[in-house]
Amino acid sequence: MAIDFETFTLAASTAELGEEPAARAVADCVEFRMDLAERPAEALSGYDGELPLLVTNRAGWEGGAAGDEGRLGVLGDAIERDAVGAVDVELAALDGSRGEAVAAAARGLAEESLERDVSVVVSHHDFEETPPRAELKRSLRRAAAHGTVGKLAVTAEDGADALDVLAVTHELSEAGVAVATMAMGEAGSHTRAVAPVYGSKIGYAPVDPAAATAPGQYDLRTLRRLTDALTSR
Q: Which residues of 64-96 are buried (b: 16+ CB within 10 A; e: fewer)?
A: bebeeeebbebbbbbbeeebbbbbbbbbbbbbe
Residue pair 172/140 in contact (Cβ under 8 Å)? The answer is: yes
151 noted as active-site residue: yes
Under 8 Å between Cβ of 2 and 86: yes
Distance CA 193, CA 61 (A): 27
Q: Which helix or strand (DSSP H or E) is residue 112 part of?
A: helix 100-115
Query: What are the angstrom distances between the C-alpha of 33 and each of 75, 84, 147, 172, 191?
Result: 11, 13, 19, 28, 22
Catalytic residue list contains 125? yes
Name the β-bridge partners of 183.
154
From the list 125, 137, 146, 190, the catalytic residue is 125
Among candidate residues 137, 146, 151, 190, the one labeled active-site is 151
- Supply the residues annotated as catalytic: 125, 151
